[in-house]
Amino acid sequence: MTNSVLRIDASARRTGSVSRDLSDRIIARLGGDASVVHRDLADGLPLIDEAWIGANFTPAPDRTEAQRATLELSDTLIAEIEAAGTIVIGTPIYNFGVPAALKAWVDLVARAGVTFTYTESGPVGLLSGKRAIVAIASGGTRVGSEIDFAAGYLRHVLGFIGIHEVDFVTADQLMIDAEGTLKSAHDQVAGLAIAA
């Protein structure tokens, strides 16, 4: 596993964001010798549309220049994952799920034949050998509860593209006990296993 980190921030807030603070702490825990590529989703990402789908399902040798341009951002986002040994995703839970920008990122990187493939026994992810650490914050939703549609989704979609080593650092239900929740989250960061 390479000592490079892809950091993805999904919070719409650039200041005062708990998930961003936790990502800062995780990056520091991983060590100062890691090279970090930062992808901030606060400005949003384009949603996939008919032109994107048409380009994606056209065989690469047959794509027009316009279709290649349409897939350029997706190719860049996938290259960032391919180059990283560890992916750190900082995200809040918005209305019981992930922010729209993070869902847009997933749509742009989950590509058949590129990051996963279908086989007779089911889909197989093509981005194996990587680790993901997800820092997730919520105001009232308990992570892992029946109303949390963020954590399980992220674990599944990361596994779908081949990333099965996924750790969570959770700061959930901040509106109920902010002090206790933050202490627990900081303790979780301190307890993260670090590769020798």
pLDDT at residue 2 in the model: 60
> Minimum mean pLDDT among 26-40, 46-60, 76-90, 113-127: which range?
26-40
List, as one string, the DSSP characters of 26-61: HHHHH-TTSEEEEEE-TT--PPP-HHHHHHHTS-GG
From residue 178, alpha-carbon distances to 15, 108, 137, 144 in Å are 17, 34, 11, 18
**Does the predicted model carry a pTM greater than 0.75?**
yes
> How sure is the predictor about 49, in pLDDT bands with cuts at 50, 70 and 90?
very high
> How sure is the predictor about 196, in pLDDT bands with cuts at 50, 70 and 90?
low
Strands 116-119 and 86-92, by their bridges, are unpaired
How much is the mean pLDDT over the chain?
A: 95
Q: What is the CATH number of domain 4-190?
A: 3.40.50.360
* CA 53-114-93 angle, 5° bins: 75
* Binding site as annotated, residues: 11, 17-19
CA-CA distance, 93 to 136, in Å (whole number)?
Answer: 7
Residue 133: CA atoms inside 13 Å, Cβ hemisphere, count? 27
* Binding site as annotated, residues for FMN: 11, 17-19
pLDDT in tens, 120-168: 999 999 999 999 999 999 999 999 999 999 999 999 999 999 999 999 9
C-beta separation of 18 from 174 below 8 A? yes
% of the chain at pLDDT higher than 70? 98
Q: Does 191 have pLDDT greater than 60?
A: yes
pLDDT at residue 14 in the model: 94
> Minimum mean pLDDT among 9-23, 32-46, 77-91, 177-191: which range?
32-46
Please name which of 8, 4, 2 lies closest in space to residue 134, comparing C-alpha atoms.
Answer: 8
